[in-house]
Structure formats: C-alpha cells, structure tokens
Amino acid sequence: MTTGDSRRSTAQDDDPSFAEKLGYLFEHSRDENGLPYTGKKIAERANALGYSLSDAYISQLRTGKARTPSFRTVEAIARAFEVSVTYFLANPDEDLERVRQQRDYVEMLATTGTHLSGIDVRAICPDTIDVLIELLKVVKGQAQAQGNTGPLPEEGQNSA
C-alpha cells in the first residue's frame, strides 16, 4: 500500500477504484464472439465510435498508473463496453441510501408539520439527515402521546 492509499477515507475504501471497475469489465465482458475484451479491442471500438483512445492508455488505467481519466475517456470506455457512464462515476448503493435518507427526511418533515426553510436537503450530510430523521421521530412520538395528531403548531402560535 502506498502513502497515497493510506490517506483515503473509509468511505472511499468501500468504493472500488476506476482501475478495479475497469478490471471487472475486462474480466466479465465478452465480445460478439464470446471472447474476453482486450485493451486493443476496446480502443478500436472507442475509436470507431469517434473517440480517440489508445491501448497504452487503457493499460495505464487498468493498472492504476493513470488515475484521473477525463470524462470523455470514461465515456469512450463505457460506450465501447456498452455500459452506462454511471458505472464508473457512481456508487449505486451509496446513491440509493442517500435517496432513502432524503425521502425519509422529507416524509418526517411532512408528518410532523415542521419545515426548515431555505435548506437544500441535498447539501445535508447523510449522517446529519439520519440524526434529523431520528429527532423528528421523537417529536412525532411526543405529539402523538399528547393527542396532537395534526401538524405541530408553528413557532409563536398557540396550540390551544
């Protein structure tokens, strides 16, 4: 492990690198004849699609020697393998978890009748969203225990 690798955060450690994702495609994808793809074949396919990509650069990406391909390169490789560009750019499990958190957060805001004006939910850290959801559940539980099943009164309003 290199020094640069030891500085990676835990979240990044769970997310495969570009080289790992590319390696997976080379291991598991087959061409029209059922043969594993080679770097040369992928470069040829990408070039036929109008991109400029060399077998040597693909090799550097596969080994991790080149780490930051341009979006155009990612797009070229994705199209050559006939996969979505998001395969390389996103961690689908992380995206799904974030959507779940945002949905739960918005649902709890609606259920409790609370609002946080001017807050962009997408900008809130996932851990903070979880804490807010739990807090809103407590507020909802207390309101239900007091017999208040409707939205909570806004600040400055009387509840009577």
**Position 118, amino acid:** G
User: CB–CB of 64/19 below 8 Å?
Assistant: yes
Tens-place pLDDT, residues 111-157: 666 655 556 656 667 677 777 777 777 877 777 787 765 554 544 44
User: CB–CB of 49/80 below 8 Å?
Assistant: yes
Distance, in Å, from the CA atom of 123 to the CA atom of 120, rounded to the nearest integer, reads 5
Note every long-range contact of 123-132, with CB atoms under 8 Å and residues 24 or more positions apart, other chains counting. Answer: 126/97, 126/98, 126/101, 129/101, 129/102, 129/104, 129/105, 130/101, 132/105, 132/108
**Who's near 155: CB < 8 A, 6+ residues apart?**
none
Q: What is the torsion angle, in degrees rounded to the nearest 10, for the CA atoms of residue 52, residue 53, residue 56 and residue 61?
A: 140
Tens-place pLDDT, residues 20-47: 999 999 999 988 888 899 999 999 999 9
Q: Give the domains, in start order, of the chain with CATH numbers.
A: 3-89 (1.10.260.40), 92-145 (no CATH)
Alpha-helix residue ranges (DSSP H) falling in 18-91: 18-28, 39-48, 55-63, 71-81, 86-89
Tens-place pLDDT, residues 80-124: 999 988 888 877 666 667 777 777 777 777 766 665 555 665 666
Count CA atoms closer than 13 A to 102's CA, side-chain side: 13
